[in-house]
Structure formats: structure tokens, C-alpha cells
Amino acid sequence: MSLPHAILTALLEKPSSGLELTRRFDRSIGFFWSATHQQIYRELGRLEREGLVRASGPGVGRGQRKEYEVLPAGRAQLREWVGQAQDPKPIRDPLLLRLRAAAVLGVDGLEEELARHRELHRAQLAEYLEIEARDFPPERAETENRLQHVVLQAGIQLESFWLAWLDQALEGT
Amino acid sequence: MSLPHAILTALLEKPSSGLELTRRFDRSIGFFWSATHQQIYRELGRLEREGLVRASGPGVGRGQRKEYEVLPAGRAQLREWVGQAQDPKPIRDPLLLRLRAAAVLGVDGLEEELARHRELHRAQLAEYLEIEARDFPPERAETENRLQHVVLQAGIQLESFWLAWLDQALEGT
DNA sequence: GGAGCCATGTAACCCGTTACATGATTAC
DNA sequence: GTAATCATGTAACGGGTTACATGGCTCC
């Protein structure tokens, strides 16, 4: 049940229409919780029905822009969710599965694919580092937006892990 | 579409019944692709209908053990899937989402939860290291089961990443 | 008046999760 | 005979994915 809370968070940061939310999911929040516009509209409908957000604007039908904002009940809901204990989920990665299958089948045409993944992770890491350089320059004292920086660092370190691991996996091939 | 291929891989390693598969998913394969017995039975039914696996054993109804084995078509299917290009999926982690929400809400009761996660990752890392010590002792030359070791190392390094990151996140709190 | 874009939506499908149901076998 | 365990299933629901549909606006 993370998507509704991702949306509530995004709307608290800035009230938006469905499409604007979609774009922001493609950029910032989507780095660790992606969503398509279909998901977002479906969820906004639910959140409105449950009285957690409110839509303003003329539109009722299709093509009419609606702006959503979070109601107090929505903020309370989000706060409760953040406070709940939730266990981390085990890894779920098709690439690891494919390596295991390759171990059984004796397939060895996998180097290309590993190299391709390495390139993708390299690019993603570069993007994160750019964001870090822009939004969290070393001279700025970190107090208020420390949490955002920590989240970004998780992304950076995860991509670094994949890079190092893929190097290692390719080394012996 | 990973679950059917995970099952095919497990069945190639050793023909099994549904329940046996479930147990093995809880242990080895489940470390990076978990599945419940309901999923597995549903998927075994499909795989059989599609002619990718074959069931033997007396049973037709409930409670009758059936043993599944992979047919040539299943092996071919798996081989094809392993060879396909598949992009890595972006991270999808509720904990990062909760940190971001906390940044907006100004919630600060999160240290306990972070510490709890750290403990869980610490335990998981210890488990992986134990498996490594048992199945991949340093003296054994790595040629045949190198792929399995690489997969395990991914698990080890991922857990190490989480540990280090959580330390870092807790440090400034 | 058509192309392109902004914007909101519907429909269908598969996967993962949870709860529950039922049959066979063994131990006491 | 009944409790526990092995074993196979059904039903219902929600989230994620993909494809498609529709309405309004602007620019040329």
C-alpha cells in the first residue's frame, strides 16, 4: 500500500493535477517509486472518495484539469503509515534469476547483457551524482533537507553496488 | 514474467512436487525470488497446460502428490528467456518513500524503525556469509559453480550496502 | 481544419497476497 | 478415531502493466 502514500507525499510537497503528478513521478519520486498515469488517476479517484484529498477546478469530465490537495485526514493517514513498522522485502531481481538459470542450462552468451546493465547503471549513477552536486553542495550545512540527501545517497550507493558487482561478475567470464 | 522461469529453473535442478518447490523457494531461490504455494500451484497448472512441464504420479484430485519435470519445450522457453534483453527495474523501496514523507511531515520517530531494519539486514548478511563459508570455501577452485557464487555475492553485497547506509542514516539523527 | 499536445479516463490482464477448503497418510 | 502433517487446491482482492479512448486547446 505504498502508492497512495507516495501520492499524498507528492501532493503535500505541492498540490498538482494528475498529469503533473505523473511527470514528477517520472523525475524525483519515481527514482524509488515509479507509477504510470493510469495508476495515478485510479488512485487519486480512490483518495478523493475516501476523503483524503480534495479536487478543485472546473472539470468534471474528461480533459478538464483538476487540481488536488491533501486534506487533514490525508495528512493524518500518511503520518500513521510512516510510523508503522514494515519489514524490508527480500530482493527480487530477474537478472539474478537469469544467472541461476544460466548456471543450469550452461548458457554463456550473457556477457553482453551484463555489460549492457553495467552501462545503464553507470548512466543512472552519473545522473544521481549530478543531482547531488546541484542540490546538495558540500558547503551547505545539512539540517533541514538532510533526509532528502540520505535518500539520494541510497540511490547513489545502490548504483555503485551494481556497478562493482557487475564488474566482478564480468571479470571471470 | 519471472515466476514461471524461476519454477522451470528449480525443476531443472531437480524434478519435484508443488510442495517441495515451495520449500525450495523458501530456501535457496526464494532469496532473490520468493513465491507462495498458491502462486506455485497456479503457475504449475499453466506450465502443464502449455506443455512446458509434465506431471507424473497417480494423483488427479486433491491431496495426491504429483511430480513435475521439465519438457524439452520448457527448456527451450527458459533458454530463450535467459537470452532476452531486459532492462533493470528502478528501485522500489517503501522505506525510502517513508523517509521522504517524513521529510515533508517533520516526523522524527523513525530512528527505531531504521535500527530495526539494520538488525534485520545484519541477520540476513550473517546467513548469506554462513552459506558462502559452507558452499564456497576459499580453497575450492571456482569453475563450474562460479555463477552460483556470483549470485550469492550479490546478496552479500546488497545487505552490506543496506547496513552501511542505515548506519549513515542513523548517524546524523 | 488538421496536427499536436494537454489532460483525464476505461478495460483487460497478470502477478502477488491472504484467507480458506479439502483430501490422504501417519502416529498416538 | 482424532490430531497432526503432507499435499493440493479455490476464491477474492489489490497493484502494476499495457493498450486504447475521449475531450479540450493552441498553432499553423
- Cα B1 from chain centre: 14
- Bigger pLDDT: A161 or A29? A161
- Bigger pLDDT: A8 or B172? A8
CB proximity A152 to B under 8 Å? no
Rounded mean pLDDT of A132-150? Answer: 83
Same domain, A10 and A61: yes
CB proximity A158 to B under 8 Å? yes
CB proximity B101 to A under 8 Å? yes
- Residue B89 within any structural domain of the chain: no
User: A20: domain CATH number?
Assistant: 1.10.10.10
Q: Using a pLDDT cut of 90, give the percent of chain A over it.
A: 76
Given a cut of 90, is residue A21 above it in pLDDT? yes
Looking at A42, A59, A83, the residue that finishes a domain is A83
Same domain, B118 and B144: yes
Residue B59 has a pLDDT of 62
Residue A57's pLDDT band (cuts 50, 70, 90):
confident
Judged by CB atoms within 8 Å, which residues 110-149 of B form the interface with A? 110, 113, 116-117, 120-121, 142, 145-148
Residue B108 has a pLDDT of 78
Residue B173 has a pLDDT of 65
Q: Is strand D less than 7 A from the beta carbon of B42?
A: yes
CB spacing of B97 vs A33 below 8 angstroms: yes
The three cell numbers locating residue B131: 552459506
Same domain, B71 and B115: no
Looking at A83, A112, A133, the residue that finishes a domain is A83
Residue B62 has a pLDDT of 75
Q: Is strand D less than 7 A from the beta carbon of B120?
A: no
- Residue A101 within any structural domain of the chain: yes
Q: Compute the nearest-CA separation of A63 from chain B (Å).
A: 30
As to burial, measured by CB atoms within 10 angstroms (0-12 exposed, 13-18 middle, 19+ buried), residue A107 is middle
Given a cut of 80, is residue A169 above it in pLDDT? yes
CB proximity B158 to A under 8 Å? yes
- Residue A89 within any structural domain of the chain: no
Residue B106 has a pLDDT of 86
Looking at the DSSP assignment, which residues form a beta bridge with residue B56? Answer: B67
CB proximity A95 to B under 8 Å? yes
Which residue of B5, B69, B96, B170 to mutate against A (max A Cβ within 10 Å)? B96
- Residue A88 within any structural domain of the chain: no
Same domain, B58 and B126: no
Q: How would you write the pLDDT of chain B (173 residues) with one tens digit per residue?
A: 899 999 999 999 999 999 999 999 988 888 899 999 999 999 999 999 999 999 987 666 677 899 999 999 999 999 999 999 999 998 999 999 999 999 999 877 889 999 999 999 999 999 999 999 999 998 776 677 888 899 999 999 999 999 999 999 998 66
How many Å from the CA of A43 to C1' of D22? 20
Residue A58 has a pLDDT of 67
Same domain, B163 and B108: yes
Q: Which domain holds residue A98?
A: 94-171
CB proximity B87 to A under 8 Å? yes
Same domain, B17 and B50: yes
Q: Is strand C less than 7 A from the beta carbon of B64?
A: yes
CB spacing of B151 vs A12 below 8 angstroms: no
Name the closest nucleotide to A60, judged by C1' and CA: C8
Looking at A39, A64, A83, the residue that finishes a domain is A83
For chain C, which bases have at least one atom within 7 A of a protein Cβ?
6-12, 14-24
Residue B157 has a pLDDT of 97
Q: Using a pLDDT cut of 70, give the percent of chain A over it.
A: 94
Write out the DSSP string of B85-138: --PPPPP--HHHHHHHHHHHHT----HHHHHHHHHHHHHHHHHHHHHHHHHS-T
Residues whose CB is less than 8 angstroms from the CB of residue B46 and which lie 6 or more positions away in sequence, other chains included: B4
Q: Which of residues 16-75 of A touch strand C (CB under 7 A)?
A: 17-20, 37-38, 41-42, 44-45, 59, 61-66
* Structural domain total, chain A: 2
Cβ-contact A129, A156 below 8 angstroms: yes
Q: How far is B152 from A136, CA to CA, in rounded Å?
A: 35
